[in-house]
Chain A
Amino acid sequence: MQEYLLMIVAAMFINNIVLIRFMGNCPVVGVTSSVDSALGMGAAVVFVTTMAGTTCWIIQKTILEVLGIEYLQTLVFILVIATLVQFVEILMQKVAPPLYRALGIFLPLITTNCMVFGVSVLNIKEEHSFMETLVFSMASAVGFAIVLLFMAGLRERMDSAGRVPKLLQGVPITLITAGMMGLSFAGLMGLD
């Protein structure tokens, strides 16, 4: 039990997928101008990453490794993720229209979110078991959502402050903020 707890803390904060592993930066820079859309995007990513991580793990173990074609991992995983995202979109539209209205517009963006793919590959690379895959995928995605949310809040504040020097307005200040956030996350290093 303890090892899963450690894994969750590590994936969410210490090795934060956005700030330390540098994945999923595009949405952090692009979507985070309002807390509402950050929440929607975050929830959609947690859902898709967990689904994709576990599905890819199963495919890797039952098909690719059995047949000895691990080198096709990249091709197969991305195919799986693209299909999965589109499938979830179609399904959600039918089964849970309110959910679709809240998260739906973010789904197409997720196919190219390097985080989903990156987490799937990391699961294999770090030789996680199925349970570890499940936990790691979800915790990483939650870590992403946390950064997205923090960043949206900070940006709302910064926009109202109006004190950002002209040359740093927009993306530059977001990146610098991310750097500062990374520093403070690195302060949790002693936790593991």
Chain B
Amino acid sequence: MAARIVNEFTKGFWKEIAPLRFALGICPALAVSTKVESALGMGFAVVFVLCMSNVLVSAVRNIVPDKVRIAVFISIIATGVVIVELVMQAYFYPLFLVLGIWIPLIVVNCVVLGRAEAFARKNPVLLSLSDGLGMGLGFTLSLVVISSIREILGDGTWLGMMVLPEAYPGFGFLLRPPGAFVIFGLVLGIMNVISARLENKTA
């Protein structure tokens, strides 16, 4: 059991890292990845919602009729999202202003509903929690990777600190929407190469 919990937790980081492997939840990954700071904020918001929804969905999985399954799941997720929304407004207001509409949009993040449907619906609470935590942190990791590339190359900073020489002119394209798509595509391509290499080694 313990081994399974660990396994469900770790798969979210590489083997099944949602945005990079399955192109799930890429909308927020593109939208809030201009700065590492907002990527982290978004990532932790998703971790919270994902854990909460996975646990609750798993807890009610045997008493919900099939016809209203989606509606119930989505209500649970929406509740988690509104909690995040309220707490963030109360204690992290600047972050709330930066993330803006993307906080309520966690409701329709494919990763969250996807995990509820594909995992939490069929598994006990503890496993679901570990799955949610792993998937959520994997999502955060993807966001941080992409936002790091965009912030460092686009602005010369990382988490607001200057990391490239002052003279670095910046590369505004990366900070604008089309740049997000291109960087994301390239990161996915590099992922493909790395995992192909790894498979060759093990084979």
Contacts and interface: CB of A to CB of B under 8 A. Distances in A.
Q: Is A–B contact present in the complex under a CB 8 A cutoff?
A: yes
Given A79-B71, A167-B189, A23 B27 contact: yes
Given A22-B180, A178-B181, A179-B180, A121 B71 contact: no
Interface string B1-44: 00000000000000000000001111110110000000000000
A19 interface: yes
Contact of B82 (A75, A125, A173, A179): A75
A125 B100 CA distance: 10
Contact of A182 (B23, B24, B71, B178): B178
Interface of B is mostly: helix
B98 to A, nearest CB: 15
Contacts of B26: 25-26, 29, 175
Nearest to A15: B177
A74 B85 contact: yes
Contact of B108 (A19, A112, A182): A112
A168 interface: yes
A181 B85 CA distance: 33
Interface string A112-141: 111011100110010000000000000000
Contact of A74 (B104, B177, B188): B104
B161 interface: no
A189 B108 CA distance: 29
Contacts of A33: none
Contacts of B190: 167
Interface in B154-191: 176-182, 184-186, 188-190
Interface in A74-98: 74-75, 78-79, 82-83, 86
26 contacts: A19-B178, A19-B181, A22-B180, A26-B23, A26-B25, A26-B27, A72-B82, A74-B82, A78-B74, A78-B108, A86-B70, A111-B70, A117-B105, A117-B107, A118-B101, A118-B108, A121-B104, A121-B105, A167-B189, A171-B23, A171-B185, A175-B188, A179-B178, A179-B181, A182-B177, A182-B181
Contacts of B86: 71
Interface residues of A, number: 47
Contacts of B71: 79, 82-83, 86
Nearest to B103: A74
Given A78-B78, A112-B110, A175 B105 contact: no
B193 interface: yes
A174 interface: yes
Contacts of A121: 101, 104-105
B80 to A, nearest CB: 10
A104 interface: no
Contact of B110 (A26, A71, A165, A168): A26
* Among all A-B residue pairs, the 4 with the closest Cβ atoms: A179-B181, A175-B185, A182-B178, A176-B185
